[in-house]
Structure 1
Amino acid sequence: MGFVFRSRAKEEKAATASTASPTDSTQSRHPQAPKGRPTPKRSQAQGQRRSVANTPTTRKEAAKRQREDRRTAMERQRKALASGDERYLPARDKGPVRKFARDFIDSRFNIAEWFLPMAVVILVLSMVRVASLQNVALLLWLVVILLIVLDSIVSATRLKKALRERFGDDNKRGAVAYALMRSLQMRRLRLPKPQVKRGERP
C-alpha cells in the first residue's frame, strides 16, 4: 500500500537524480584535467586588473583622463625639444634626415639668423627724421636681404649634396626647406636645441 500512495513528484525527483550527468557542476574537477583556457601570467593578470581599475566610468572622468594624458604628452614633448630625444619629438622633427639637417645648420654661421636683430636696427634708423639715416637704413635693408638670399642658396646647395651623400635614395622631401626655416631663427631660440657646436662636423 505504501507503493500505491507514494508521491509521484518524489518518483520524478528520484529518477532525475539517478540520471544526472557525471559532468554536473557539483562534481569536483580533477586537478590534472585541462581547464579549456591557458592560465594568464601574473603580469598579464595585473595589467588586466589595472586597466579595469583605470577605465573611466563617467564622461567627466574620461574628459579628465584625456586632459591629463594630453598634458603629460606635451610635457614629454617639451623635454624632448630641449634634450633632442627622438622618441618624443613632434612628427616634423623626427627622423635621421631631419636631425642631420638640423645639425648641418647648427654647425654653420648663418647670416639669416641675425635677420631679426638687423631688422630692428634698420627699423629704428628708418624712423629717425634724418634723410641721410633713412637712406642708410634703406641701403642696409637691401644688403641684408641680398646676403640672406645668397647665404640661403649656398646652404641649400651644400645641404642637398650632403643629404645625397649621406642618405642616397632615402626620402629627403622637405628637409632643405626645414633647414632654411631653422636658419632664420637665432641659435639660442631654436627648437629642438642645437646638439652640435659651430664648426663641428654633423
Structure 2
Amino acid sequence: MTKSKSTPDNKKGKPTPKRKVAEAKSKSSILSPAASRSDKKRLKEQTRLRRTEARAAFMRGDENALPYRDKGAARRFVRNYVDSRRSIAEYFLVLIIFVLFLTIIPNPTIQLFAIAIMYSAMLYAAIDGFLLSRRVKRLVIAKFPNESARGVGMYAWLRSTQMRRLRAPAPQVKIGANIN
C-alpha cells in the first residue's frame, strides 16, 4: 500500500471521526439554530392566536376560512335552509340515550315501547332526510342555476342530523326564519 500525502483537498492526515461525533455534526448543520426559550414561547403563542382566529372565522362562516365542502353561495343557502327548521334527526342522540335508559328497566312492556320509539324515530328521520334532500336539491337548482347541485342533498341531510349547538359553521339564522 502506498501512503497518501496530506492535502487540504482529501482531508487526510487526521483520524476518522467517531460515529457519534459525525452524527452530531450532521444533525447540528441540518437543524435550524436553537431558538431561545422566549422566542419559542412567543412563536407558540402566535401559532395559537392564528389557530384561534381561523377557528373563529370558520365558525362565523367567513368564506375564506371555510373548507371546500362548505364554500359557495349554494352551500350557504343550504346551511341557512337547514338551520331555519327543526328536525327529529337533530334530537336523535338524546332520544337514543332516553331509550337506553328505558331498556334498562326490567319491564318488557316498557322495553318494547322504548324500542318502538327508537325505530319509529329512525324511520321518521330517514324519510325526513330523504324529503329534505330532494327539496334542497330542487331549490338549489332553481336558485343557483350556474352552480353544481351535486352533493347538496347529502350535505343538507347530514347537517340536519347534527345537534344545532354542535353544527359547524355555526347557524346564521334563527329557527323559523324565512329563507328564499
Report the TM-score when normalising by structure 1. 0.63
Shift of residue 98, structure 1, vs aligned partner: 1.4
1:116 to 93, 108, 111: 93
Mapping of 1:34-183 within 5 angstroms?
A: 58=32, 71-183=48-160
When residues 58 and 140 of structure 1 are mapped into structure 2, their CA distance, relative to the original with a 3 A threshold, is same
Mark the runs of 5 or more structure 1 residues left unpaired by the alignment. Answer: 1-56
CA-CA distance at 1:191 after TM superposition? 1.2
CA contact (8 A) 2:84 2:176 kept: yes
Inter-CA distance 78–67: structure 2 relative to 1 (3 Å threshold): same
> How large is the Cα RMSD of the aligned pairs?
2.3
Task: State the TM-score, normalizing by the size of structure 2.
Answer: 0.71
**Post-superposition offset of 1:73:** 4.2
Question: CA–CA distance in 1 between the matches of 2:137 and 2:85?
Answer: 15
Identical columns (%): 37
Deviations 1:113-159 (A, max 9, x none): 11011011111111111111111111111111111011111211110
Q: In the superposition, relative to structure 1, how do residues 59 and 131 fare at CA in structure 2: closer, same or farther (>3 Å)?
A: farther
Give the whole-Å Cα distance in 1 for the aligned partners of 2:161 and 2:129.
10
Relative to structure 1, is the Cα distance of residues 179 and 93 closer, same or farther in structure 2, using a 3 angstrom cutoff?
Answer: same
What is the DSSP-based 3-state SS (H/G/I as helix, E as strand, rest coil) of the residue aligned with 1:147? helix
| Kept in 2: contact 1:77–1:89 (CA 8 A) | no
The structure number with the bigger radius of gyration is: 1
Amino acid at match of 1:143: S
Gaps of 5+ in 2: 1-30
Q: Distance between the aligned counterparts of 1:111 and 1:78, measured in 2?
A: 28
Count the aligned residue pairs. Answer: 144
